[in-house]
């Protein structure tokens, strides 16, 4: 299906030169839950009410008496096939179904297989499980105290709840810089556990065909190829070889990182289908989704920043406790257990930095997914932007001037950060200046001063983020040993139409549109003549999938490289047709012409036809190419966000009055899609800043397990976003493009938090943890004697 959008939204600003209409948008429209197969069976999951408990007995007699119920599957059943545990992406282990004890509230305890969804649900409701409750460990600080109950009793040598210690940077140089600093600031920052809350929950249909021994799984996954490999590695011993597994990821209703891991429901559905030979469907309901999977953040951070008297920043020191729940199932590259948190020096020319992170087990579901974030970059940006703001306040300097003074300057790129990253390109001052001009910064500051005299609470503040997206390079980045490259395979048919397949998987980011545009621009074939496909492991080339804004930096580059291979071959075919040497041809998209004789030319369509009908002797027929692109570096998009808030003294409510986002993702492929990405991302940044949090009581009961408590902002709570961009191309990307999908989610929370603290600083408030809810602010205002 091809959709065309209204004329006023497309064509803004700078974009890659193209012949195609930038408003051209494509989409499909089949969700996993839409797949219905003859004879399909349904799964429903029995979940634990306890956060930590021994399983004494599971009685399935009543469930088996429900008409339509075929089986109750327990951990004991899976243990017979050694499928009751599975590996996580961080090489830890996760239960599929428990045999001895449960580790978090809402954990899967048993599964009911039935001939209808209703029968499965009725059966699950009457499975009787007897538990023996154990003390729950909820606070990661307490989890590390001597005498805390050891949670992972399945790990024989484990004597505590500490998972790993990881540190990066030069400790001695950092300590020295702090000892020599004129000014230091220190803050405890908690970045709470949040949930992606995508429109569709997780689910799958597993279909094992006993005749040909092939398993097909329609699955809500952002990384179908990697999942196929994991399935083959985990279930190879029960006869599932990789060539006999097909993963199909149709439209999945949003992913945001939550659909990268393998969850128990997928594995149970596969096991049930292999055992019965029937298709088995498992679809989570909303509360299961909110309580059991797709969690992010949960970082307890202690940060310190050092500066000279004149405001020159010198060093950053961070210690963090990472609450992973009962297993480390984070979606991080293997080498970096704390993801890319060490991009925490941000946009500033800091000479020394040291960061330490400790992973901790608690009685919570696994967390640590890369929620619209390149593996902990949101945590890094929030930390540095809060700290820089606190330092600016402390020194009594304007936050914009303070940042301008400390930015990495354009001539310093490529820039090696104190924590070892090589930033590719940037013009940080230019973007901030554009944001200040756009929002009317000086005028707003005047307004704030007047309002403060009248006792009104207004804040205006900045977040200046540098992102890091596009993993590989494969020499540094792998997931479970799978190197992080990505792929594009192009086939040009004889009549000049094309099909292009990718190792990535769009979840609504519009790859069908933007990839077609890249190919159209490179090959000169109209985008409407190009079929773009992703998400089917039987047809698409191997790739690591879509998350962490890696599609444009990696697969987008693969599209350009594969196109250029086609052009190389096309040039030789055109030379044969025109009876000249290949070097005598000039190429412009879609046309090869003889130098100096532009009328002597062949189109890409002529060339495609000749590739199958009249190719030169000795050349293989066909016009196809594949690129497995391994980027030489990550890309470093950036942005300058300015937020203006007003705080209601009576209720503590924070109102975002203005929010201007200036983003820079290098060369833009489709301005309308980029603007859509930024708008959605800003709302997903507003959400944790003001509303969303998954918290637990002292017994491990989840407090945000439904949309009554987990406050996803609607259009009513969302301000009118103002957006714009600058363009600083990436020097190493074939198209000069950088990723953009997560920029706004990463950059927005700090701008909002900084603006709130700015409104309250004169009252003695130094920091407020997100989400900044009305009760939290109201309590502060009462403490400061502002409100009754
Ligand atoms: O990996 P993911 O698709 O989430 O992130 P991305 O590479 O940042 O791309 C998000 C969407 O924005 C895709 O459709 C891209 O092609 C598009 N985009 C663009 O048009 N220009 C850019 N410079 C970056 C992304």
Q: Could you tell me the distance, in angstroms and rounded to a whole number, from the CA of residue 376 to the centre of ligand 1?
A: 19
- Enumerate residues 6+ apart whose C-beta is below 8 A from 751: 385, 461, 462, 463, 641, 642, 643, 659
Rg of the chain over Cα atoms, rounded to whole angstroms, equals 27
Residue 11 is predicted with a pLDDT of 32
> Two tokens at 389?
């703001």
Looking at the CA of residue 552, tell me the nearest atom of ligand 1: 7
Q: What angle do CA 55, 59, 61 make, to 5 degrees?
A: 170
Q: Could you tell me the distance, in angstroms and rounded to a whole number, from the CA of residue 644 to the centre of ligand 1?
A: 28
Q: What is the DSSP-derived secondary structure letter of residue 178?
A: H
Mutation test residue for ligand 1: of 22, 198, 424, 514, the one with most atoms within 8 Å of CB = 514
How far apart (Å, rounded) are the C-alpha atoms in residues 610 and 607? 5
**Bridge pairing between strands 530-534 and 498-502:** parallel
Looking at the CA of residue 548, tell me the nearest atom of ligand 1: 1
Q: Could you tell me the distance, in angstroms and rounded to a whole number, from the CA of residue 414 to the centre of ligand 1?
A: 23
Looking at the CA of residue 513, tell me the nearest atom of ligand 1: 14
Residue 417 is predicted with a pLDDT of 98
Helix 671-690 with 743-760: angle, nearest 10 deg: 40
Cα–Cα distances (Å) from 327 to 260, 311, 553, in that order, read 16, 42, 31
How far apart (Å, rounded) are the C-alpha atoms in residues 165 and 172? 18
Whether 222 is a known active-site residue: answer: yes
**Bridge pairing between strands 41-47 and 108-114:** antiparallel
> Two tokens at 501?
């397949």
Instruction: Residue 727: name the closest of 738, 713, 714 by CA.
Output: 738
Instruction: Residue 522: name the closest of 593, 590, 569, 573 by CA.
Output: 590
CA dihedral 255→257→260→263, nearest 10 degrees, is -80
Residue 770 is predicted with a pLDDT of 98
Query: Measuring from each residue's beta carbon to the nearest atom of ligand 1, which residues come in under 6 Å?
Result: 509-511, 514, 546, 549-552, 556, 665-670, 673-674, 677, 737-741
Helices (H), 14-54: none
> Two tokens at 287?
């509360």
Alpha carbon 694 to its chain centroid, in Å, reads: 18
Q: Could you tell me the distance, in angstroms and rounded to a whole number, from the CA of residue 344 to the centre of ligand 1?
A: 23
**Exposed/middle/buried for residue 613 (C-beta within 10 Å: 0-12, 13-18, 19+):** exposed
How far apart (Å, rounded) are the C-alpha atoms in residues 788 and 786? 7
**Bridge pairing between strands 482-483 and 422-423:** unpaired
Residue 13 is predicted with a pLDDT of 32
Phi, psi of 417 (to 5 degrees): -80, 165
Looking at the CA of residue 547, tell me the nearest atom of ligand 1: 1
Instruction: Residue 71: name the closest of 325, 328, 273, 346 by CA.
Output: 273
How far separated are the first and last CA of the chain, in Å rounded? 59
SS3 content of the chain, % helix, strand, coil (to 5): 30, 25, 40
Cα–Cα distances (Å) from 324 to 156, 161, 167, 336, 742, in that order, read 20, 11, 17, 15, 22
Q: Could you tell me the distance, in angstroms and rounded to a whole number, from the CA of residue 739 to the centre of ligand 1?
A: 5
Among protein residues, the one with the nearest Cα to ligand 1's atom 4 is 549
Looking at the CA of residue 517, tell me the nearest atom of ligand 1: 16
Write the pLDDT tens digit of every residue in 206-250: 999 999 999 999 999 999 999 999 999 888 888 899 999 999 999
Name the 3-class secondary structure at 288.
helix
Whether 356 is a known active-site residue: answer: no
How far apart (Å, rounded) are the C-alpha atoms in residues 666 and 736? 6
Among protein residues, the one with the nearest Cα to ligand 1's atom 9 is 741
Write the pLDDT tens digit of every residue in 568-607: 999 999 999 999 999 999 999 999 999 999 999 999 999 9
Name the 3-class secondary structure at 167.
strand
> Two tokens at 353?
């930095």
Indicate the length of the chain as a whole number. 788
> Two tokens at 151?
């949670």
Helix 264-276 with 224-235: angle, nearest 10 deg: 60
Mutation test residue for ligand 1: of 471, 552, 725, the one with most atoms within 8 Å of CB = 552
Instruction: Residue 105: name the closest of 243, 238, 293 by CA.
Output: 293
Looking at the CA of residue 737, tell me the nearest atom of ligand 1: 23
CA dihedral 146→147→153→158, nearest 10 degrees, is 30
Instruction: Residue 520: name the closest of 9, 66, 24, 93 by CA.
Output: 24
> Two tokens at 345?
């020096």
> Two tokens at 203?
């689910």
Instruction: Residue 190: name the closest of 771, 657, 686, 708 by CA.
Output: 771
Mutation test residue for ligand 1: of 25, 674, 726, the one with most atoms within 8 Å of CB = 674
Whether 742 is a known active-site residue: answer: yes
Write the pLDDT tens digit of every residue in 401-444: 999 999 999 999 999 999 999 999 999 999 999 999 999 999 99
Tokens 């000479």 correspond to what residue? 351
Tokens 């060490």 correspond to what residue? 342
Whether 372 is a known active-site residue: answer: yes
Name the 3-class secondary structure at 326.
coil
Name the 3-class secondary structure at 194.
strand
Among protein residues, the one with the nearest Cα to ligand 1's atom 23 is 668
Looking at the CA of residue 515, tell me the nearest atom of ligand 1: 16
How far apart (Å, rounded) are the C-alpha atoms in residues 240 and 579? 53
Residue 710 is predicted with a pLDDT of 96
Residue 15 is predicted with a pLDDT of 40
Q: Which of 373, 488, 643, 665 is catalytic?
A: 373
How far apart (Å, rounded) are the C-alpha atoms in residues 31 and 25? 19
Q: Could you tell me the distance, in angstroms and rounded to a whole number, from the CA of residue 513 to the centre of ligand 1?
A: 10
Q: Which of 94, 222, 448, 507 is catalytic?
A: 222
Residue 29 is predicted with a pLDDT of 58
Q: Could you tell me the distance, in angstroms and rounded to a whole number, from the CA of residue 91 to the centre of ligand 1?
A: 30
Q: Could you tell me the distance, in angstroms and rounded to a whole number, from the CA of residue 30 to the centre of ligand 1?
A: 22
Instruction: Residue 605: name the closest of 523, 521, 495, 500 by CA.
Output: 495
Residue 235 is predicted with a pLDDT of 86
> Two tokens at 420?
């070892």
Q: Could you tell me the distance, in angstroms and rounded to a whole number, from the CA of residue 516 to the centre of ligand 1?
A: 13
Q: pTM, whole model, 2 decimals?
A: 0.95
How far apart (Å, rounded) are the C-alpha atoms in residues 243 and 186? 54
- Enumerate residues 6+ apart whose C-beta is below 8 A from 208: 214, 215, 270, 273, 274, 277
Element (H, E) at 630: none
Q: What is the DSSP-derived secondary structure letter of residue 31?
A: B
Q: Which of 372, 376, 386, 501 is catalytic?
A: 372
Q: Do residues 225 and 544 lie in contact, with contact meaning Cβ atoms separated by under 8 Å? A: yes
Residue 493 is predicted with a pLDDT of 98
Alpha carbon 760 to its chain centroid, in Å, reads: 32
Residues of the chain with pLDDT under 70: 1-29
Write the pLDDT tens digit of every residue in 358-393: 999 999 999 999 999 999 999 999 999 999 999 999
């Amino acid at each position: 299906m091809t959709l065309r959008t209204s004329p006023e939204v497309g064509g803004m600003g700078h974009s890659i030169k193209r012949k195609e209409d930038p408003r051209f948008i494509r989409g499909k429209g089949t969700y996993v839950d839409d797949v219905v197969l003859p004879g399909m069976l349904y799964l429903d999951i029995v979940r634990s009410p306890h956060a930590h408990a021994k399983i004494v007995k599971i009685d399935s007699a009543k469930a088996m008496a429900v008409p339509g119920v075929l089986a109750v599957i327990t951990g004991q059943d899976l243990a017979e096939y050694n499928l009751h545990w599975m590996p996580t992406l961080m090489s830890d282990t996760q239960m599929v179904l428990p045999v001895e004890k449960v580790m978090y509230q809402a954990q899967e305890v048993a599964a009911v297989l039935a001939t209808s969804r209703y029968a499965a649900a009725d059966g699950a409701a009457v499975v009787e499980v007897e538990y023996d409750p154990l003390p729950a460990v909820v606070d990661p600080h307490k989890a590390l105290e001597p005498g805390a109950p050891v949670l992972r009793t399945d790990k024989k040598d484990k004597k505590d709840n500490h998972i790993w210690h990881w540190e990066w940077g030069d400790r001695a140089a950092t300590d020295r810089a702090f000892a020599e600093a004129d000014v230091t600031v220190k803050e405890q920052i908690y970045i709470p556990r949040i949930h992606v809350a995508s429109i569709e929950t997780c689910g799958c249909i597993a279909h094992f065909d006993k005749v040909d021994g092939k398993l097909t799984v329609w699955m809500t996954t952002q990384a179908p190829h990697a999942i196929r490999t994991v399935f083959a590695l985990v279930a190879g011993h029960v006869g599932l070889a990789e060539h006999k597994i097909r993963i199909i990821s149709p439209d999945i209703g949003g992913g945001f990182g939550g659909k990268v891991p393998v969850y128990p429901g997928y594995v149970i559905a596969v096991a049930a289908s292999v055992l019965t030979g029937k298709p088995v469907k498992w679809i989570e309901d909303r509360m299961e989704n909110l309580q059991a999977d797709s969690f992010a953040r949960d970082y307890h951070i202690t940060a310190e920043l050092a500066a000279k008297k004149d405001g020159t920043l010198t060093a950053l020191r961070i210690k963090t406790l990472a609450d992973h729940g009962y297993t480390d199932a984070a979606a991080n590259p293997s080498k970096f257990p704390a993801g890319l948190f060490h991009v925490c020096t941000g946009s500033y020319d800091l000479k020394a930095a040291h960061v330490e992170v400790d992973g901790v087990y608690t009685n919570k579901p696994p967390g640590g997914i890369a929620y619209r974030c390149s593996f902990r970059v949101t945590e890094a940006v929030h930390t540095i932007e809060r700290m820089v703001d606190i330092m600016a306040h402390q020194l009594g300097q304007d936050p914009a001037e303070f940042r301008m003074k400390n930015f990495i300057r354009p001539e310093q790129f490529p820039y090696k950060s104190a924590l070892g990253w090589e930033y590719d390109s940037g013009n940080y001052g230019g973007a901030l200046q554009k944001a200040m001009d756009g929002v009317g910064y000086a005028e707003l500051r005047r307004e704030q001063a007047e309002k403060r005299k009248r006792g009104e609470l207004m804040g205006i503040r900045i977040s200046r983020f540098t992102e890091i997206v596009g993993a590989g390079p494969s020499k540094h980045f792998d997931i479970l040993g799978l190197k992080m490259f990505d792929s594009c395979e192009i086939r040009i048919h004889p009549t000049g139409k094309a099909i292009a397949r990718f190792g990535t998987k769009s979840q609504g980011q519009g790859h069908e549109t933007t990839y077609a545009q890249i190919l159209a621009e490179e090959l000169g074939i109209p985008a409407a003549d190009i079929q773009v496909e992703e998400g089917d492991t039987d047809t698409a080339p191997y790739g690591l999938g879509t998350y962490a804004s890696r599609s444009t930096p990696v697969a987008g580059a693969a599209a350009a490289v594969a196109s250029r291979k086609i052009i190389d071959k096309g040039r030789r075919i055109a030379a044969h047709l025109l009876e000249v040497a290949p070097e005598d041809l000039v190429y412009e998209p879609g046309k090869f012409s003889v130098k100096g004789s532009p009328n002597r030319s062949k189109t890409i369509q002529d060339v495609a036809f000749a590739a199958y009908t009249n190719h030169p002797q000795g050349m293989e027929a066909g016009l196809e190419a594949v690129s497995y692109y391994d980027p030489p570096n990550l890309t470093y998009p950036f942005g300058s966000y300015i937020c203006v808030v007003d705080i209601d003294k009576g209720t503590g409510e924070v109102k975002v009055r203005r929010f201007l986002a200036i983003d820079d993702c290098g060369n833009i492929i489709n301005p309308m899609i980029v603007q859509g990405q930024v708008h959605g991302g800003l709302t997903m940044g507003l959400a944790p800043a003001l509303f969303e949090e998954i918290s637990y009581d002292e017994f491990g009961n989840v407090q945000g397990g439904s949309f009554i408590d987990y406050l996803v902002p609607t259009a009513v709570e969302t301000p009118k976003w103002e957006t714009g961009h600058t363009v600083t191309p990436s020097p190493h990307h074939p198209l000069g493009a950088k990723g953009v999908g997560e920029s706004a989610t990463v950059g927005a929370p700090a701008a909002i938090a900084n603006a709130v603290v700015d409104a309250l600083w004169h009252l003695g408030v130094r920091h407020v943890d997100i989400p900044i809810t009305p009760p939290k602010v109201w309590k502060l205002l009462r403490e400061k004697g502002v409100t009754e």
